[in-house]
Structure 1
Amino acid sequence: MTPSSDAVAVVTGGGRGIGRAVSLLAARRGYRVCLSYVSDAGAAKAVVAAIEAEGGRAVAVRGDVADEGDVVALFEAADRLGTVTALVNNAGVVDVAARVDAMGAARLHRMFSTNVVGSLLCAREAVRRMSTTHGGRGGAIVNLSSVAAKLGGAGQYVDYAASKGAIDSFTVGLAREVADEGIRVNAVAPGVIDTEIHASGGQPGRAAAMGPFVPMKRAGTAEEIAGPILWLLSDEAAYTTGAILDVSGGR
């Protein structure tokens, strides 16, 4: 279950929230970590410092996953760190609550460019490195979906829910496409998780407000999502591909 000594995990949006928890846990499990961030350099550098303080290796790369050039640069930085064998497509955005009839094209383009196009671009670069048909030694990809994909987000986030529905379809399709090339592709679908993403959508107290309505009566933590992600990356999940793992407290 321990990665090879030069194995690199690429974690997009790795400076905060779920991405931060994944980056820290991946390093503790033996990965070298290449994490991306868009604007909060201080948070990303703090994650790198925390990993290095525990004897790990990490690098933070500024870049927007919706920008193809930035994605290429991210993976080139990962190549300098070691051999890419894991990708966690964590970077994503939400927006303020709105009905579909109030949404403009700019909002929709931003949502799908980051949440969907960005994940596909990163997966493309990962497959080019991991696939045995490209001379790679295999690996695993975990995409971040959401229970919103099945709940729909009516009245608030239909666009976000639709972007995560696309991630579910992408996960299944890519998993079948590369299953015999040494690559496993799965997704984790969190529910209400207490991270900074709610504030970016204008509702900083959303996790606390929604917690009592979850069957487990609380919001989840970033660490409770990181664990399942690292399991899907591990050899314990060696026969698991195309799965969408619900980690939502029962939603």
Structure 2
Amino acid sequence: MTPVTVITGGSRGIGAATARRLAHTGHHIALGYRRDHAAADTVVTELRATGVRAIAVPADTRDPDQVAALFDAATELGPISGLVNNAGITSQIGPFTELRLADLRDVVDVNLVGYILCAQQAAHRMTDGAAIVNISSVAATLGGPGEYIHYAAVKAATDALTIGLAKELAPHGIRVNAVAPGIIRTEIHALSGQPDRPERAASRIPLGRPGEPDEVAAAVAWLLGPDASYTTGAILRVGGGL
């Protein structure tokens, strides 16, 4: 049976790279995105060119009705076998004491509540052999001091979600893992007010460079695939040594 994978935040960055990699290995893809219709359509066109089926579904993962609609649409491609919980945001980098409540709520709602809502939908619909991969961050263990402690705290919650859900769903044959990227060249840095952060941070990364979305996508694809059949509850760091 052809795998069917839901990817949230799939119109750019790690989500888009993961969609492309999975399509090349034969996955049908349901691409969730929030607002960039043109970018989502471009990715879907690329995916279909590989011969798989692909759809783009606008979905704000903070809204349970929109999340349900995304998964309903995905089932039109076939039984859902994979979820990549990737949709995420950060906020302006800065001291903890200057964190605004609105930014805190946005980060918690998108990066944690959204992950939980999507994982619930997946768990209701998945059967033996399916897999969930949550995108965490090395910030979960580094803490993000002086930058985004609140984001790091939410990613630590993602790790706890991954471990707990892995144990709860294991009897049903559903695996749950996480990938924890380090500093990756994506647009998220521009949203935090520091678009050049990957290059400026290179000197403190043990491997001496930021990562690429494709390098994270490779880890996600492995965790979704048969070679990871005995791997669940794992948090795989892809951080260049951070």
- The offset of 1:126, in angstroms, is 0.4
Aligned pairs (5 A) from 1:150-165: 150-165=141-156
Amino acid at match of 1:12: T
Instruction: Look up the match of 2:34.
Output: 38
Match for residue 242 of structure 1 among 230, 233, 236? 233
Alpha-carbon distance in 2 for matches of 1:186, 1:137: 15
Runs of 4+ off more than 4 Å = none
1:56 maps to 52
Alpha-carbon separation, structure 1, partners of 2:210 and 2:82? 27
Which residue identity lines up with residue 48 of structure 1 in the other structure? V
- Write out per-residue CA displacement over residues 143-194 of structure 1, whole angstroms, 9 at most, x where no aligned residue: 0000000110011100110110000000000000111101000000000100
> How many aligned positions are there?
242
The CA distance in 1 between the partners of 2:187 and 2:27, in whole Å, is 25
> Helix, strand or coil for the counterpart of 2:82?
strand
Aligned match for 1:169, one of 141, 150, 160: 160
The Cα shift of 1:40 comes to 1.0
TM-score (normalizing by structure 2): 0.98
1:78 aligns with 2:74: yes
Normalized against structure 1, the TM-score is what?
A: 0.95
Q: Among 198, 202, 222, which residue is 2:189 paired with?
A: 198
Within the candidate set 60, 66, 69, 2:65 is matched to 69
Match for 2:116: what amino acid?
A: L
SS in 2 for 1:226: helix
Structure 2 unaligned segments of length 5 or more: list them. none
C-alpha distance in 1 between matches for 2:163 and 2:111: 16
Q: What is the Cα deviation at residue 209 of structure 1?
A: 0.9
Residues 1:223 and 2:239 aligned together: no
Q: Secondary structure at the match of 2:66?
A: helix
* One-letter amino acid of the counterpart of residue 216, structure 2: I
Whole-angstrom distance in 2 between the partners of 1:105 and 1:157? 13
- In structure 1, C-alpha distance between the alignment counterparts of 2:133 and 2:104, rounded to whole Å: 24
Q: Could you list the runs of 5+ residues in structure 1 that have no partner in the other structure? A: 131-135
Letter aligned with residue 70 of structure 1: Q
Q: What is the percent sequence identity of the aligned residues?
A: 49
CA distance in 2, matches of 1:40, 1:71: 17
User: Is the partner of 1:229 in helix, strand or coil?
Assistant: helix
Q: Counterpart of 2:14 in 1: which secondary structure?
A: helix
Q: Distance in 2 between matches of 1:124 and 1:142?
A: 13
Corresponding position of 1:107: 103
**1:133 maps to which residue?**
none
